Amino acid sequence: LPAFFARWDGQPLFAGRARMGARRRRRLERVRRSHDPLALAACLRGMGAGSQQPLWERLQQLLLPVLLVSGKEDSKYCQLAEQMQRRMVAARRAVLPRAGHSVHLERPRAYARVVAAFWQHLEQAGDEDGDVAEAEAQVEAEVTAAKGE
């Protein structure tokens, strides 16, 4: 397992993890060491992005509000989120600067603020018209605030 994680983490996709604090990196490493190698392999085979059936044509059927969060340094997932947003009626996208693929680990406070702002807006707005546009504005404000962190 250590050799697998060394190769996995060596991908440019995960370069942003180097900015994580030492304590957070150690905690992540402890969690990873606790994984069952067979279960992890099964998850990657059964739920990895390459093993999933494409559902692009069904995205327009999602009518509920969706927040797509990606790290600016993860160009592939930023592009995918942009494509998804165009296909979804009520999707909003947040791209956090100074973050890669593991945006929730690399910028946990900024990530939490963006998600919390999205949820808070949804709770306040209820089912009123204009919810999505207002949520987008709130998320954009949080992303802008996150740039300063």
**Residue 108: per-residue pLDDT:** 92
**Residue 115: per-residue pLDDT:** 95
Q: What is the spatial distance between Cα 99 and Cα 121, in angstroms, rounded to a whole number?
A: 24
**Residue 143: per-residue pLDDT:** 67
pTM of the model: 0.75
For 116-146, write each residue's pLDDT tens digit: 999 988 887 765 555 566 666 666 766 677 6
pLDDT bucket at 18, cuts 50 / 70 / 90: confident
Q: What is the spatial distance between Cα 21 and Cα 137, in angstroms, rounded to a whole number?
A: 31
**Residue 109: per-residue pLDDT:** 93
Q: Are 98 and 72 in contact (CB under 8 A)?
A: yes
**Residue 91: per-residue pLDDT:** 93
- Which helix or strand (DSSP H or E) is residue 70 part of? strand 66-71
For 42-86, write each residue's pLDDT tens digit: 888 888 877 888 889 999 998 889 999 999 999 999 999 999 999
